[in-house]
Amino acid sequence: MSPIQKYALGAGIAVFLSWLILPSWLTLLIVLGVVAAPAVGYLMLDPSQRERLKRARKRGLGR
C-alpha cells in the first residue's frame, strides 16, 4: 500500500468518525475547508508565482 493510499484511507476513516460524532453540517464544513484551502491558496498566487511553484514541483523539493 502506497503512502498516498494510507493517507486517503486515514482521511476517510477520520471523516467517517467525525460524521458520527459531530453534527453532519459541521463535518461537511470541515471537509470542504480542508479540501478547498489549498485550491484557494493556489488561485491567489500571481502567474509568476504559480510558474515558480510548478518548476519547484517538477524538480522535487529537497532533492
* pLDDT band for position 63 (cuts 50, 70, 90): low
The one-letter code for the residue type at 9 is: L
Domain-embedded: residue 63: no
pTM of the model: 0.54
Assess if residue 30 is contained within a domain. yes
Whether residue 59 is predicted with pLDDT greater than 90 in this model: the reply is: no
How far is 7 from 59, CA to CA, in rounded Å?
Answer: 23
Q: Is residue 7 part of a domain?
A: yes
Residue 16 falls within a domain, yes or no?
yes
pLDDT band at 37 (very low <50, low <70, confident <90, very high): confident
Count structural domains, the chain.
1
Evaluate whether residue 20 is within a structural domain. yes
Range of the domain at 31: 3-58
DSSP label of 61: T
**Does residue 41 fall inside a structural domain?**
yes
